[in-house]
């Protein structure tokens, strides 16, 4: 697994606090997506594809110490620039966290605080919700293992 080079969620949050213009925010999100390492071709498969996203989104889940102490990390990619950036923000929030924390925290609240709910199409918002749901379900599975 390749570690992402995406800034931490705290750094992303600080950047959003400084950027008022939505065109600039979109550019920033796209730049975040460009920092995600590409998945290997064999990882872009139906098992890793996130259902409910209009664009193709793939998530690869890695679990360390399955069970109550599970730590879950993720790799992800999309074939759409803005969506790949949304993947990057989501992974910055969740990847490397304990499974219990992932289950207890809904990144959609973070997306709302950034103003995405008002500035993303309903289709993209539904895709983000699908990605978050998939990550949280994977965390539930890691806890049960």
Distance between CA 44 and CA 22 in Å, rounded?
A: 31
3-state helix, strand, coil in the chain (%, to 5): 55, 15, 30
Active-site hit among 6, 53, 120, 135: 53
Nearest-CA neighbor of 25 among 116, 108, 133, 124? Answer: 116
Which tokens hold the place of 118? 């008002």
Burial of 96 (0-12, 13-18, 19+ CB in 10 A): middle
Is 138 tagged catalytic? no
CA angle 11, 104, 60 (to 5 degrees): 70
Catalytically active residues are 53
């Amino acid at each position: 697994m390749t570690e992402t080079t995406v800034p931490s969620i705290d750094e992303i949050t600080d950047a959003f606090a400084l950027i008022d213009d939505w065109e600039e925010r979109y550019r920033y999100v796209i730049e975040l997506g460009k920092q995600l390492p590409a998945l290997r071709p064999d990882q872009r498969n139906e098992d890793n594809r996130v259902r409910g996203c209009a664009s193709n989104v793939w998530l690869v889940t890695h679990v360390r110490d399955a069970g109550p102490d599970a730590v879950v990390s993720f790799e992800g990619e999309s074939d759409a620039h803005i969506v790949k950036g949304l993947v990057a923000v989501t992974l910055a929030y969740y990847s490397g966290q304990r499974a219990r924390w992932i289950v207890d925290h809904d990144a959609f609240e973070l997306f709302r605080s950034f103003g995405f709910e008002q500035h993303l199409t309903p289709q993209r918002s539904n895709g983000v919700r699908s990605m978050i749901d998939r990550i949280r379900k994977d965390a539930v599975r890691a806890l049960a293992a």
